[in-house]
Structure 1
Amino acid sequence: MSFPYKKNIEKSMKKFYDSLCEKNKRRYAAIESEKLSHGGVNYISALLECDPKTIRQGKKE
């Protein structure tokens, strides 16, 4: 899978994600995965080191 974001952007995304509370982490991960469409959940879950189920839960919220 190719990576849609540059390394410096990924680093900023991870830093921001780590600063959030659990509910907002789920919601942020869901929004980022939606931006990428196909393969977004897998890419974002790997980038942010969260379970894909976490992202799916965020989409429901």
Structure 2
Amino acid sequence: MVNLYASLNEKDRRRYAAVEAEKLGHGGTEYIARLFACDPKTIRRGTREVESLPEDPAEDRIRKKGEAAKLLANASPASSSISAKKLKPRRRARR
């Protein structure tokens, strides 16, 4: 189940988790949230989406895995060095 869950896109993961939680009944949402390491709110959102099927307002909007990494890899070196400077941890002043 975990391997299947990991292979799905974001929207399908929510819906799959919701269906599995529903099968388990009472306590299913918490159990599935721990099993799949996701937030119970995500499962509740998936439940609402499954209940509204076949109507799907976000049908064509699916994030592709790794898209953010591709965008960062294609960024210019100047912009990535600026981003790296902004992400450096700052020290707190001692009082």
- Under a length normalisation based on structure 2, what TM-score does the superposition of the two structures give? 0.51
The structure richer in helix per residue is: 1
Matched residue count: 49
User: For residues 47 and 15 of structure 1, what CA distance do their matches in structure 2 show?
Assistant: 11
Percent same amino acid at aligned positions?
Answer: 61
Q: Which has the higher relative contact order, 1 or 2, with Cα contacts under 8 A spaced 6 or more apart?
A: 1
Taking structure 1 as the reference length, what is the TM-score of the superposition?
A: 0.79
1-structure distance, mates of 2:23, 2:48: 16
Write the distance in 2 (CA, Å) between the matches of 1:25 and 1:54.
9
Gaps of 5+ in 1: 1-12
Q: Which has the larger radius of gyration?
A: 2
Q: Which runs of 4+ in 1 moved over 3 A?
A: none
Look up the match of 2:9. Answer: 21
Q: Could you say what the CA RMSD is over the residues aligned between the two structures, in angstroms?
A: 0.3
